[in-house]
Structures are given as C-alpha cells and as structure tokens.
Structure 1
Amino acid sequence: MRRVSLKYLRPGMIIARPVYSGDGRLLLASGLSLTENYIKRLAELGIGSLYIEDQLFHGDLNIDDVVSEQTRIQSVKLVKEAFHSLEKEKYIDTWAVRKAVDDMADEIFSNKDILVNYFDIRTYDDYTFNHSVNVTILSILAGITLKYNRVQLRELAIGALLHDIGKVHLDKKILNKKGKLTAEEYKHIQQHSLYGFNTLRSYYEIPILSSIIAYQHHERLDGSGYPQCLKGEEIHEYSRVVMVADVFDALTSNRPYRKAYSVPHAIDIVKKLYPSLDDRSITAVFSNVAPVSYTHL
C-alpha cells in the first residue's frame, strides 16, 4: 500500500487502512472502493490523505504501529473526555490518565525497535486530542532513548498528554480563529501555559514535573519563548523533549490554514530552529521517526 494525498485520490481506489473519527467511530473501512462522494466527504472532514492498495507492492506491505489503533483511539477519547470534563465539571479523572500513559508506555516498550510511521489519519476538529496523544508517543520514545526509568517516563508522559489542558480556559473564538491573531489575542493564547500548570497542580496525584511541562512547553532555549522567557538549563529536560515533539507534530498536521509538511521537511524546519530547541531532545525524538513522505504531495 501507499499513502496518497487527497488531491490525487480517484474513484475506484481501494482503501488499505481504515479511517476513524476522533471518538473511535469507523468512517471508512479497509477494502472499500472510493467514490466521488467519499472523497468529497474526506475533504469536508479535513482528512488530507489515505492509505490505498497498490499492486506494485502486491498488497503485502504492512506498516507496524508502535502503539495499536485501539490504544491510540482510547487515548484520544480519554484526552477529549479530560478536556470536556474539566470544562463542564471542573474535574479530571487522574486515575484514567495514569492508566492511559501506562498502557501506551507498555506497548511502546514492547515495540520500541519500531520506528514511528508518522502519518495517522485525523480530522481538523480532533486536532488537539490527536496532537496530545502523538506528542505523548514521541515523548515516551524519546524518554526511552534518553534512558529514563519508568517513574520518569510516567512523569514525562502525563505532562505530554495534558500539556495543552490549559486551552480549556481560553476564549474559544480566539482559540479557533483562522485568521492572524492580534497582539492582545496572542497574549490571551499564551495564558494557556499558566492555566494548564495551575490546573494540574490542583491534583496531588499529578507529579509536579508533569505540571511544569504544561507550563514550559512553549519556552525556547534562546529565551524567545513564553511565559517566562527561560533559557537553556532553566527549562526542565522533560519540557525540552515535549517542546520538540509539540513543534514537530504541529508541522506534520493538516490545519485549516495550511497542509501538513512532509516528515523530512518538518524535520528540516525543526533542526533549523536550533538553538531555540534542545539539540539532545531533537536527536532523541527524531531517532524514533521513520523518514517517510507522501507518495504524492
């Protein structure tokens, strides 16, 4: 099979891997033949590409996943529920969060020799939740590369999974604005780091270092980040790992205002951001990413 950008999809192509919604509902099954209506609906959902069958590969090219589809879906659902629960009930199920990161870590340990095939299929509306899970997977892999123990991996993973939880407290009109933000709006968006830190610190079950990730993931080594303009070693190593994973996943995601960058292009962009990003963390994150790109762009 091969991955094909939406603009190159044609009726009659056979879907090789199923497409799911953010809550785990099957949208399109593997083996299904594409139609014009299906392709149109994919565009409406913001899905930029599909895996299709290709006779050149004799239908036997399987892409291993470092985390199973079931675990990924359950993790995305958990992040969505955490956001919604915090917004409506002012509560986060911390036990469920710990279980989710432990499940991901267990699977990743079992498959740690598999490079991440960094092309999951997701919609614009589910971006925040899928993004949180992707950042967590990359961070756990980086933590293993950095020889973290299980306690450290859990601290890292909890912070990575909930690094954007502070967005719950932002004005949704500003958060979802498609056009350029004003200076005042951008300052409002920046508050999500502090909001996230304060939210996570209110739960004694959540390690302080996990909370610090929410606070520092937009800092940069050269002091150009926020909220405190910290530099170098002033930023905790967990935060430096998550900031790399966060930037990389954002670049490789389809957004309403731009298409996803290919993996090689995104890697180049991230490396050019050095010294604002941590070189050790860049190496740890990208050593686990397969250098693949679209068959058609």
Structure 2
Amino acid sequence: MRRISVQNLKPGMVVARAIFSSDGRILLHSGIILSNRYIKRLGDLEIDSIYIRDKIFGYVEHRDIVADETRHNTIRMVRENFNKLDKNHNLDTRAVKGTVDNIVDELLINRNILFSLSDIRAFDDYTFAHSVNVCILSILTGITMGYHRTQLNELGIGALLHDIGKIRISLNVLNKPGELTRNEFSEIKQHPEFGFKILREYHDLSLLSSHVAYQHHERWDGQGYPRNLAGEKILEYARIVAVADVYDALLANRPYRPPYSINQGINILKRMSGIYLDPACVTALVANIAVYPIGTVVELNTGDTGIVIDTNREHPTRPIVKVVFNFRGQRIAHEHEVDLSKLKTVMIVKTL
C-alpha cells in the first residue's frame, strides 16, 4: 500500500483504504478498481491523494494513531454541532466531551506511534477534518509536555472547537480562492472573539477551553490578534493549538495553493518558532510527526529505492525501509529491510 497523488492515478489501480465524506459516508470502498470516472470524481472533490494497493512494493501494514471509526465519528460530530449552532440550536457539549475523552484514550494507548496525516479529505470537509487533526496534534503535544488527564481533555475540547467562531463568518469569505480584501480579512479576524463568546455560554465547558478559541491567533511576538498578547501572556493551551493549526493547514490542499510536504511543513514551523509560535510547543509537536509515514516510497543515498514499513519514534527522520530496487533500478531478488536509525551513513534523499 502506498499513497499516490490523484493526478498520477491510472485506471486499473486498486483503492487500498476507504475514502470517507465528512458525514461518515464511504465515497470509495477499499478494493474498488479505479476507472476514469472514479478518478475524475476524486478530482472534482479536490481530493489530493489516496492510498492504492501496490504489487511491486507489496502489503505494508499501516497503524493509525486514532482509529478510522473514531476519526470519522468525530468529524461527523463536529459538522453536526457547527450546523446546530448555525441554526441557533445548542452545542451538544456531552457529545463533545465524550468524543475528546475517546481520542485521549486512544492517544494514550498508542503514544509510541508517530502521527501520520493519513486522512483523505474532500475540499468541502476542510473545516471539520482540520478541527479533528488539530485536536489530535494538540493532545499529542500535551502528552509530550507532561499534561495530566484533565489538562488533556481541556486542551482537546478547546482544540476541537477552536474555529467554532467561523460559523459567524460568510462562507464566501471563508472559501474565497483568491487574496482577501482588507475588509474580508477584518471579518475573518473576528472569529476568535465570536468563538469565545459562543463557548463561554456553556458553563459545563472549562473557560480555559473557551480561551483557546479566543487566543489561537495570538503570536509569540505579540503581533497576532485579537488582543496582541505576547509570549507567556498567551494561554499555553492556545500556544499549542496555534502550532497544530498552522501545521495541519500547511499540509492541506487549499483553493489558493497545493499542500506542502511534511518536510516543508516542519521546516516552516521551525522558521516560525520564536516569532509566530512558542518554540517549546513547536519542539513538542514535531517530536510526534512521522516525517516519512508508513507507505512512503523513498530513494536512499545509496541509489536504492524502497518503501517505509515502520517509523522510529526516537529518530523520526530515520525509519525502517524495505529495499525493493537497487541503484540501477533493477528489482532486487531478495528484498531486505534497512533500519536507518542504526546506519549512520545511509539516509533518505527524496520521496517518490
């Protein structure tokens, strides 16, 4: 199994992992043989890439840090609650708290697995899938920073609902493919305050979770919004969510740009560290990222080509690779595994 860009798909390829809509419906089942019609449909949905079965590289077990069922149930719950609020109904705080509790459980159980952005999201699912990824990344960061259970739940709720204020923003502005005007950007900048006002009405939610919505666009150097808070004046939960928010947004396919690669995303975070973002939160989040996720086809500096079959938590840039082709591009008769964490002179030079 490997992930491949939709633009490189060809009829006859077989889907390896089911593709879901944000309401939990399966768009394409695992095992479906792709046709031109299916490929066009994926393009129309602005899905960037999918997982396919690969006879050359063989079966590779992909372990998710959060189960597909949990992820898609959470996306559906977020969407339903955004829609309820948009229609002036109440937020289902019991569902929110229960969902975050389940995510914390799974992340604590799977704490040795690195995060791989394995969800396949359609363009119109962006806000909801983004909210779930930010929640997962934030809780992982909190675990790395030594948070206890109550803190993880407060952080997770704030992260999951950090963009709830966007229900008060025009969809035309939110989804605009081009550059925003000054007035449109001023409208966008109101969503943190809208989110805070919404969440603080629910007294069974921690006020700290509400402040995540309020403060996640503040900057470490004090040049953010809405209140120009700086450094440790910004709630630490919000500083964590700010990092997760930026990272997930960078890796998403947006109307105005293609997604950045994992390496590019991490490098951008590091450049923003100490200016836009809290350096300690950047370091803690990056420690949880699989730079080369399982199923990634890579070229080594030896010229050999292989597929990542496992990650090393202590050495995220040095995974375990199954070598399939030699430096001449010839199929190797006896494929073998290489643990890059144990070989100082062998490294990945590019992904394919």
TM-score w.r.t. the length of structure 1 is: 0.97
Name the residue aligned to 1:173: 172
Which residue identity lines up with residue 137 of structure 1 in the other structure? I
2:163 counterpart of 1:164: yes
Please state how far the C-alpha of 1:15 moved relative to its aligned partner. 1.0
Displacement after TM superposition at 1:116 (Å): 1.0
Which residue in 2 is equivalent to 1:15?
A: 15
Bigger relative contact order, structure 1 or 2, given CA contacts below 8 A and separation 6+? 1
Q: Which runs of 5+ in 2 are unaligned?
A: 298-350
Which has more radius of gyration? 2
Contact 2:135 2:159 in 1 (8 A): yes
- Secondary structure of the 1:125 match is helix
Aligned to 1:35: 35
Is residue 3–residue 50 contact of structure 1 (8 Å, CA) maintained in 2?
A: yes
Tell me the CA shift for residue 259 of structure 1: 1.2
User: Do the aligned residues in 2 keep the contact of 1:19 with 1:26 (CA within 8 Å)?
Assistant: yes
Aligned positions, number: 296
Residue type of the partner of 2:49?
A: S
Where do 5+ consecutive residues of structure 1 fail to align? Answer: none
Shift of 1:7: 1.2
Q: Which residue is equivalent to 2:290?
A: 290
Q: Where does residue 187 of structure 1 map in the other structure?
A: 186
Aligned to 2:338: none
- Partner-residue secondary structure (3-state), 1:56: coil
- Name the structure with the higher strand share: 2
> Equivalents in 2 of 1:62, 1:136: separation in Å?
25
Conserved 8 A contact 2:15-2:53: yes
* Structure 1 position 90, deviation (Å): 3.4
Contact 1:63 / 1:117 at 8 angstroms: preserved in 2?
Answer: no
Shift of 1:237: 0.8
Q: Are the equivalent residues in 1 in contact too, given 2:175–2:255 (CA < 8 A)?
A: no
Q: C-alpha distance in 2, partners of 1:163/1:215?
A: 8
Map 1:171-250; keep pairs closer than 5 Å: 171-250=170-249
Question: What RMSD, in angstroms, separates the aligned Cα atoms of the two structures?
Answer: 1.2
Q: Which amino acid aligns with 2:171?
A: K
CA distance in 2 between counterparts of 1:27 and 1:19 reads 5
Q: Summarize deviations over 1:96-154 as a string: whole Å, max 9, x none.
A: 00000001111111111111111310001010000000000001111111110111001
Alpha-carbon distance in structure 2 between the residues aligned to 1:136 and 1:292: 21
Deviations 1:258-293 (A, max 9, x none): 111111111111111121211110111111110027
Letter of the 2:257 counterpart: R
SS at match of 1:126: helix
Deviations 1:235-269, CA, capped at 9 Å, x for gaps: 01111100000000000001122111111111111
Q: Distance in 2 between matches of 1:227 and 1:56?
A: 52
Q: What is the alpha-carbon distance in structure 1 between the residues aligned to residue 133 and residue 174 of structure 2? A: 20
TM-score normalised over the length of structure 2: 0.82
Query: Does the 8 A contact of 2:176 with 2:255 survive in 1?
Result: no
